[in-house]
């Protein structure tokens, strides 16, 4: 009798652990198309088999390439992080930008307050290839080379002449978009309007339960996507569209 009770307790514990798991299950799906060599203007049908909470298809043609999607571009990166850097090629343009500003400034101050353009440029050159995760920091460091000038001069300089590698920057033409597929119907029809070879990509996603931390919602009622485990799989099909 005691052993029977122990067995029930162990089983109950396992059930509780499984039911309370915050991990997202790995989707198990297949991805097919009825015609991988359609003509331009011919409709193809993509079919998904298996289960997941969400399905998205990127057809691979212009504006629908997965490699240019927000998900692909920002993978593994902090999307709120700025990243700017000064390249050597920008130094001549910066000199041309600062020349009239410094000349005008020197015309309004005494001899002891004059700013040397050559000295400022020599100092700015020491910042080449230095990465900044905040544009204001880059502007402030340059302002220290010529504190008599207005800070706005260097804030504009950073915007104009520093290379902006921030994750928030979209690819040329903007981020690509995919098509959400009904999780119950699991089919999607599409007509390619141009010839070429395209890679259609399926993203199947499952999301786990909320991972509570600290006091949960007792003190902080905000929610973040980082609090959920996400499990995705990707499937690809090469489509060759005939002219």
Mean pLDDT value across residues 194-216: 81
- The residue count for the chain: 243
Which pLDDT band holds residue 195 (cuts at 50, 70, 90)? very high
Whether pLDDT at 71 is above 90: no
Which pLDDT band holds residue 75 (cuts at 50, 70, 90)? confident
* CATH numbers and ranges of domains, the chain: 25-76+171-213+223-241 (2.60.40.10), 84-164 (no CATH)
CA dihedral 13, 18, 21, 27 (to 10 degrees): 170
| Beta-strand pair 28-33/84-85 | unpaired
pLDDT per position as a tens digit, 210-221: 665 555 545 554
Distance from the Cα of residue 200 to its chain's centroid:
20
**Tell me, what's the pLDDT at 207?**
85
Q: Which residue has the higher pLDDT, 26 or 47?
A: 47
């Amino acid at each position: 009798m005691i052993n029977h009770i122990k067995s029930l307790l162990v089983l109950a514990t396992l059930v509780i652990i499984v039911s309370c798991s915050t991990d997202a299950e790995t989707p198990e799906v297949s991805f097919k198309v009825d015609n991988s060599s359609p003509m331009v203007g011919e409709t193809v049908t993509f079919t998904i088999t298996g289960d997941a909470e969400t399905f998205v298809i990127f057809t691979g043609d212009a504006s629908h390439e997965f490699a240019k999607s927000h998900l692909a571009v920002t993978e593994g990166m902090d999307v709120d992080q700025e990243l700017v850097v000064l390249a050597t090629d920008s130094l001549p343009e910066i000199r041309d930008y600062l020349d009239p500003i410094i000349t005008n400034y020197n015309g309004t101050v005494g001899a002891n307050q004059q700013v040397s353009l050559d000295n400022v440029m020599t100092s700015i050159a020491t910042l080449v290839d230095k990465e900044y995760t905040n544009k204001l920091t880059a502007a402030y460091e340059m302002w220290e080379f010529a504190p008599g000038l207005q800070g706005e001069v260097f804030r504009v300089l950073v915007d104009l002449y520093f290379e902006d590698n921030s994750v928030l920057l979209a690819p040329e033409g903007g981020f690509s978009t995919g098509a959400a597929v009904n999780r119950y119907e699991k089919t999607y029809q599409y007509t390619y309007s141009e010839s070429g070879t395209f890679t259609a990509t399926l993203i199947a996603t499952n999301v786990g339960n909320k991972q509570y931390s600290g006091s949960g919602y007792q003190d902080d009622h905000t929610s973040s996507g980082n609090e959920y485990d996400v499990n995705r799989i990707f499937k690809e099909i090469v489509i060759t569209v005939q002219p």
